[in-house]
Structure formats: C-alpha cells, structure tokens
Amino acid sequence: MADTAYDELGVYTAMRTLRAVRRLRPDPIPGPVLERVLEAASWAPTGGNVQPWRVIAVRDRTLVKQLGELYAARWHAYSKQHMAQLEGAPEELRARTARMLAAGDYLADHFAETPVVLVFCFNPKLMAITDIKQSRVSVVGGASIYPAVENALLACRAEGLGCVLTTLLCEVEPEVRSLLAIPEPWATAAAVPIGYPVARGHGPITRRPVAKLAFSDRWDHVFRG
C-alpha cells in the first residue's frame, strides 16, 4: 500500500470494536478507500493459496436497489420469525434483539441508498474441501472465503466505514446470479453493505468470554493462559 497511515488503528482495537453497523449514510466511498478495503481482502489466506473467491463491488444504483428489494423480503421474513422465537426469553435478551432487529429494519428499508455492496463469490470446484465426506454439513470450503470477508470488514473498520456481513441474499442466489451475471459454478457467500455510519458506527461488542469458548487439551477442560 502506498500510504501506511491506515495501519494506525491497532488490530486488537479494530477487532474488539468491529460490531455490525447497519445504519449507513448514502455518501459515496472514495475509490482509493474502496481499493484499500479490497486489497485487505486479497491478503487473506486460502487453502493452497488458490484464492477461490471473487468480489463484486456493486455501486450501480439500479442494481443496489434490486439487491435491496431481494434483501428486504428475506430480512422481514427472518425478523418476524426471530422475534416470535423470543417469546418468553429474558427481558434483557429480548431488548437486545429488538435493538438489533430495528437496526436490521433500517438496513432493509434503506438498502437502496447503500453506496457499495460487496458481494463475495466462490468457486467450489477450486477448493479442497477436506470435510466433504463427513456426515454433517461441510464448513471447510468457507474457510477459503470468509477470512477475506473478515479482512474487508476490518479494513472498513480502519477506514471509519460501517459494514455488516450478511448472508440472507444467499437464500435467493439464482436471482442474485442473474442480476450480477455471476457465471456457474461460482456461487455467493456473503453480501457486505458498506458506507459511512449514520451515528457512532463501530463500538463495543457483546461476546462470550474465553472461559466459555476455549478449552485446555481436552473438551470441557478449563483453559488457563
């Protein structure tokens, strides 16, 4: 990268403040900023360094609007079902979820104004999917795509851009394929709307503590550093 000023945000700070930002301003994102975000994505590791992913930076207003219509239909169905499932849940969880859903409604209702949507695609034929024969859902292929998505999210964080990883458009992949002229066998993995945040943007996140997530040597053995 020509300019190192963007390395100034520490990586730990970036990670612990990289929350989902769904309220985005329509202001355009300067080309060099977008290029840095995409370059960060390109640095991600992939199995065999094959890089079986591509990203389409969708800026065409008609296409973003069409993606937005598809997204809003999926979001409203998801949101209705999600809130119904919380019937009887603790008040604190209901309130947190309601805040997330309100932000999600905002994104769905304003999707057409999003300056850029990054649609990440992948080619399953280019991947060594080492868990494909297991009798459960296969996840290894995703490991050659989502690190690139995460790098793009972190770069957005460093650039002061809001963003959120979304996957609802994968439910309507044939429509997205046709809109964006994605050739077979390429498929879609995520759509990341990005833009400068309406309010504060990134900030604190709520996550389980390491003590609940990490073990020492064997499953369920308490981890100590």
DSSP states of 81-146: HHHHHTTT--HHHHHHHHHHHHHHHHHHHHGGG-SEEEEEEE-GGG---TTTTSSS---GGGGGTH
| Alpha carbon distance 163, 172 (integer Å) | 21
Query: Closest by alpha carbon to 104, among 59, 146, 74?
Result: 74
| Beta carbon nearer to ligand FMN, 40 or 189 | 189
Min dist. Cβ of residue 207 to ligand FMN (A): 7
Min dist. Cβ of residue 199 to ligand FMN (A): 13
Binding site for ligand FMN (CB under 6 A): 19-20, 22, 100, 104, 107, 164-168, 205-206
| Alpha carbon distance 157, 172 (integer Å) | 28
Q: How far is CA 190 from CA 9, 11, 93, 94, 200, in A?
A: 25, 23, 26, 26, 24
Residues 6+ apart with CB under 8 A from 77: none
| Beta carbon nearer to ligand FMN, 138 or 167 | 167
| Beta carbon nearer to ligand FMN, 19 or 54 | 19
Min dist. Cβ of residue 163 to ligand FMN (A): 10
Min dist. Cβ of residue 110 to ligand FMN (A): 12
| Beta carbon nearer to ligand FMN, 124 or 142 | 142
- Amino acid making up residue 161: L
Whether residue 71 contacts residue 166, with contact meaning beta carbons closer than 8 Å, is answered with yes
Min dist. Cβ of residue 187 to ligand FMN (A): 15
| Beta carbon nearer to ligand FMN, 37 or 49 | 37
Min dist. Cβ of residue 2 to ligand FMN (A): 31
| Beta carbon nearer to ligand FMN, 72 or 168 | 168
